[in-house]
Each structure stands twice: as C-alpha cells, then as structure tokens.
Amino acid sequence: MTTVAVFGDLQPQDLLFLGEAALRTLLISSVAIATGSLAGIVFGWMMAAGNRTVQFAMNALLDIFRSVPLLIQLILFDAFVSIAGFPMPAFWSGTMVLSVYTSALVASVARGGIESVPASLRRASRSLGLSYWQDMRYVVWPVGLRSVFPSWVGVSLSVMKDSALVSVIGYIELLKASQILITRTAETFFILGIAGLFYFALSFPLSRAGQYVERRWQQS
C-alpha cells in the first residue's frame, strides 16, 4: 500500500515567500500611514479651528471610521467598488481603506496637539505680529507635535499590525502568506513564529525611532 503525503515540507523558498510578504506589509503600511497622517492633520486642524457646524460634521464622519471595525470597512469597500464597476487591485483597495482609517485616528491626535497649546502662548505670538499661519507653523505645530508624538507612534504601530486584515480581500501580506504555508506544510507554530519575528522586525525600528526623537526633544 502506498502512502500519500498530504502535507509538504517547508522549503528555503518558503522563507523567501514570507520575506516578500513582509515587504508587502511594510509597503501598504507605509503608504497608509503617510497619506493617512497628512489627511488626519488637515482633519484635526478643521476640527480644532472650524466653527461648530464643521466640527460636528467632521466628528460625525470620522466617528464612523473609528467605530466600524476595520475588517467590515475593507469588505464593504471592496464589494462596493466591484459592484460599481470599478474593481481595484487588492493593494489599492486596502491602501485606501487603511489610509482613511488612519486619518480618522490621527485627526483626534492632531486636534489634541493643537488644543494642547496654551491660549496665552498663541496670544503672545499674535501680539508679536505673527500671522495666523505663521503662528501655526512656528508655535502651534512645534509645541503641539511634541505633546502628541507618542500617540502618533502608537497609531502607526497599530496600523502596521492592522494591515494584516487586508488579507481578507486577497492581498498577500505577511499573515496571508503564513496561512498559505500553514495549509501546505501544517507547520503552524514554526511559521507563525517566523511571521511574529517579521512583525517585530517591522515594528521595532519605528518604536525605537520614536523613543530617540522624544529623548532628543527632551534634551533640546
């Protein structure tokens, strides 16, 4: 009687496959964090500087993206663009949803940074002849950024880990690649251990860079 092998052995190229998936995770996370942070800063400024109508509208809109689970947002958006006749590659669908999700989180951080600047300091800058935009550029953002920078780092690390959910729409990032290899090899513990190390390798430099910047600011 012949024995049929159901699972295959883990091969060296499988580690390369995981490495490439880790780079795809880094790519989609970096794009989402960069675009989402820029949009979030603008939204945060609108929430802090706008009138009550603008503040209410922005809060209501961003609360939707903060409250609805990211997994549901990904599935709904991917289904919507397909039904609308504008199907997108999984990378772009995932990037757009992650960027909007990031902007909703960063908006609260940016608003907190702006509102943390003492009103007396802003009045002093205006009394020295600075315009509104000069006040924002030279006083509000430098001071506010220091107070909320750790929160922004935390949001970025969270988004990097949440990028694993993009696998639900077919993007082969680190978690999806791990699932594929586990299905073929049944080496669950070993493969997930390697995936965990990759996630650590992606997140640790950002965490350390954030700590380094904070120390430099404290010393200056």
Give me 59's structure tokens: 């809060």
The pLDDT assigned to 59 comes to 85
Residue 181 inside a domain? The answer is yes
Residue 153 inside a domain? The answer is yes
User: pLDDT of 105-145, one tens digit each?
Assistant: 999 999 888 888 888 888 888 888 888 888 888 888 888 88
What's the whole-number mean pLDDT along residues 76-99? 91
Q: Is the pLDDT of residue 19 over 80?
A: yes
Residue 4 inside a domain? The answer is no
Residue 180 inside a domain? The answer is yes
Contact between 172 and 195 under an 8 Å Cβ cutoff? The reply is no
Contact between 117 and 140 under an 8 Å Cβ cutoff? The reply is yes
**Domain count across the chain:** 1
**Which segment, 47-56, 169-178, 182-191, is predicted with the most confidence on average?**
169-178
Residue 113 inside a domain? The answer is yes
CATH number at residue 30: 1.10.3720.10
What's the pTM value of the predicted model, to 2 decimals?
0.87
Give me 14's structure tokens: 């499988």
Q: Is 75 in a helix, a strand, or coil?
A: helix
Q: Please report, in angstroms and rounded to a whole number, the separation of the first and last CA atoms in the chain.
A: 76
Q: Is the pLDDT of residue 177 over 50?
A: yes
- CA angle (96 as vertex; 159, 93 as ends), nearest 5: 105
The pLDDT assigned to 99 comes to 95
Residue 1 inside a domain? The answer is no
- 66 burial (CB, 10 Å; 0-12 / 13-18 / 19+) is middle
Residue 5 inside a domain? The answer is no
Q: What confidence tier does 9 reach under pLDDT thresholds 50, 70, 90?
A: low
Residue 123 inside a domain? The answer is yes
Its domain, for residue 149, covers 13-219
Give me 3's structure tokens: 């024995």
